[in-house]
């Protein structure tokens, strides 16, 4: 049974072109058994009809503080909610919520409620990337607000970029995860402990996507955000491990984790080989480029000189190289982002690269893998054992990965031959 079944969900809908998707979010929540109370802002009415949402929800749409007989609808709605979902959440709503500007029913409900809140931003890329929006979101996250980040794709007006509302299935899955308690609070990561079950274990984690320069302003990159690798590093540190994180991102890192900032596959390779031999666990979560430009143009390539032909050279496969010289007892974990034949491809990678565990995901599924806060993975062991981690926040996936790692490590940080 879905964790939203029988729960009271206030669904806030703001004024944006993505408001039409809120209708599908509403329908899916109701289908899953939730009691959905829709609240539309004045702007939302420009995009969808109140009648549509009222017909699909469990109660008629609420729009202002003044309609209906209840003199304090915001307090009642906020107090009785088990969850408040805002989809789409506009830049204005995020700003008002972050700063306590309670100018309409929805912002009043958000400030009055003590239930968990899940915001699903959607806006044009320029707005999404603006520091004011990102700062408001960071503030909300630091207070525990859950966020389903927008996706990259076609936006209103034909532009393509980040800012498109996440798919309704992703939003409902996130709502279920919040109510199931499988999403940790969106608070800043706790400082790592110096004691714990992994105390004395040395762990190396790589995270993010490498950038291979073409000229001083351009690079070949990939969509990895580094969030999963960072979550694994944080989880290992919280268990008391001594963690080095080789990362291509500037995501925050708790005190106590040693961060090594790299950009290219070659830099990542150098950083990893310097640390890996002394480690008990190496987790290669980074999306390392398979090819790099053979030569980097010293000056920016100019259009007037014609379409450039960029010759590529294969990079070192860092995971495979580590697999070839793996010290006895080291646990080597690889990742595989696949779009088809996940088990077969991942199993082949595990064997070819001599890894002990391989974390595979189907990045074509909604809300899974690159750029999302959520993931769904299959952890494959070298004996072919499979452990499915259902759709969850990346920190919960990190917990499952570290549980599997711990299962193949002996207490002193050495592997259990029985198990391997
Ligand atoms: N990897 C690596 N060095 C590379 C490429 C990949 O260490 N140059 C590691 C990744 O960190 C990941 C694993 O290998 O842990 C799988 O990466 P992936 O790109 O999925 O595998 P490929 O070997 O590139 O296989 P394919 O191109 O067939 O998908």
244 HSE (CA, 13 A, CB side): 20
Distance of CA 353 from the midpoint of ligand 1 (Å): 9
Q: Which two tokens stand for residue 291?
A: 């090819």
Task: Report the alpha-carbon distance of residue 119 to residue 97 in Å, rounded.
Answer: 10
Q: Which two tokens stand for residue 149?
A: 């980040």
54 HSE (CA, 13 A, CB side): 8
pLDDT digits (tens, 9 = 90+) for 337-351: 998 999 999 999 999
Which atom in ligand 1 lies closest to the alpha carbon of residue 314? 8
- Residues 6 or more apart whose CB falls under 8 angstroms from that of 182 comprise 392, 393, 396
DSSP conformational letter for 415: B
Say if residue 21's pLDDT is above 70. Answer: yes
Say if residue 130's pLDDT is above 80. Answer: yes
| pLDDT band at residue 96 using 50, 70 and 90 as cut-offs | very high
User: What is the set of domains in the chain, with CATH numbers?
Assistant: 8-180 (3.40.50.1950), 202-419 (3.40.50.10300)
Beta carbon of 209 within 6 Å of any ligand 1 atom? no
**Which of 210, 212, 228, 290 for a ligand 1 pocket mutation test, highest count of atoms within 8 Å of Cβ?**
290
Task: Report the alpha-carbon distance of residue 236 to residue 248 in Å, rounded.
Answer: 19
3-class DSSP state of 329: coil
Q: Catalytic: 136?
A: no
Beta carbon of 347 within 6 Å of any ligand 1 atom? no
Rounded to the nearest 5°, which phi and psi values hold at 146? -90, 145
Q: Using CA positions, which residue lies closest to atom 4 of ligand 1?
A: 317
pTM (two decimals):
0.59
| pLDDT band at residue 414 using 50, 70 and 90 as cut-offs | very low
Distance of CA 340 from the midpoint of ligand 1 (Å): 15
Beta carbon of 334 within 6 Å of any ligand 1 atom? yes
Burial zone of 317 (CB within 10 Å; 0-12 exposed, 13-18 middle, 19+ buried)? middle
Task: Find the mean pLDDT for residues 182-190.
Answer: 46
Note the pLDDT of residue 237. 93
| pLDDT band at residue 87 using 50, 70 and 90 as cut-offs | very high
Task: Report the alpha-carbon distance of residue 111 to residue 10 in Å, rounded.
Answer: 13
Cβ atoms of residues 331 and 356 within 8 Å: yes
Cβ atoms of residues 291 and 314 within 8 Å: yes
Catalytic residue, chosen from 108, 222, 345, 361, is: 222
Q: Using CA positions, which residue lies closest to atom 27 of ligand 1?
A: 290
Beta carbon of 318 within 6 Å of any ligand 1 atom? yes
Distance of CA 53 from the midpoint of ligand 1 (Å): 45
Torsion angle, alpha carbons of 164, 88, 364, 225, to 10: 70
Task: Report the alpha-carbon distance of residue 396 to residue 76 in Å, rounded.
Answer: 33
Beta carbon of 350 within 6 Å of any ligand 1 atom? no
């Amino acid at each position: 049974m879905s964790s939203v079944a029988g729960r009271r969900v206030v669904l806030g809908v703001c004024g944006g072109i993505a408001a039409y998707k809120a209708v599908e979010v509403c329908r899916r929540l109701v289908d899953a058994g939730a009691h959905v109370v829709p609240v539309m802002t004045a702007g939302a009415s420009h995009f969808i009809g109140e009648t549509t949402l009222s017909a699909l929800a469990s109660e008629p749409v609420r729009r202002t503080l003044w309609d209906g007989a209840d003199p304090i609808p915001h307090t009642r709605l906020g107090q009785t909610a088990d969850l408040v979902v805002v989809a789409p959440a506009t830049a204005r709503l995020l700003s008002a919520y972050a700063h306590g500007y309670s100018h309409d029913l929805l912002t009043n409900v958000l400030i009055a409620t003590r239930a968990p809140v899940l915001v699903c931003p959607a806006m044009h890329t320029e707005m999404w990337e603006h520091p004011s929006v990102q700062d408001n979101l960071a503030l909300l996250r630091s207070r525990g607000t859950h966020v389903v980040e927008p996706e990259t794709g076609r936006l209103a007006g034909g532009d393509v970029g980040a800012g498109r509302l996440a798919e309704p299935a992703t939003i409902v899955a996130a709502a279920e995860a919040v109510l199931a308690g499988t999403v940790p609070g969106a608070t800043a990561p706790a400082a790592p402990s110096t004691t714990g079950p992994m105390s004395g274990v040395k762990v190396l984690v790589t995270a993010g996507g490498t950038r291979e320069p073409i000229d001083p302003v351009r690079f070949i990159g990939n969509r990895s955000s580094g969030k999963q690798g960072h979550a694994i590093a944080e989880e290992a540190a919280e268990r008391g491990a001594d963690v080095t994180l080789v990362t291509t991102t500037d995501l925050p890192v708790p005190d106590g984790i040693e961060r090594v900032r790299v950009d290219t596959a070659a830099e990542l390779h150098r950083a990893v080989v310097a640390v890996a031999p002394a480690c008990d666990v190496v987790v290669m979560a980074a999306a390392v480029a398979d090819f790099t430009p053979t030569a980097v143009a010293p000056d920016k390539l100019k259009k007037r000189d014609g379409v450039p032909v960029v010759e590529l050279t294969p990079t070192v496969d860092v995971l495979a190289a580590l697999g070839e010289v793996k010290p006895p007892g080291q646990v080597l974990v690889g990742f595989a982002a696949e779009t088809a034949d996940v088990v077969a491809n991942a199993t082949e990678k595990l064997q070819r690269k001599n890894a002990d565990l391989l974390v595979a995901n189907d990045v074509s599924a909604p809300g899974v893998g690159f750029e999302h806060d959520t993931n769904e993975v299959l952890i494959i062991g070298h004996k072919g054992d499979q452990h499915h981690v259902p759709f969850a926040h990346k920190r919960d996936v990190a917990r499952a990965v570290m549980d599997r790692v711990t299962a193949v490590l002996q207490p002193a940080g050495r592997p259990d031959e029985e198990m391997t």
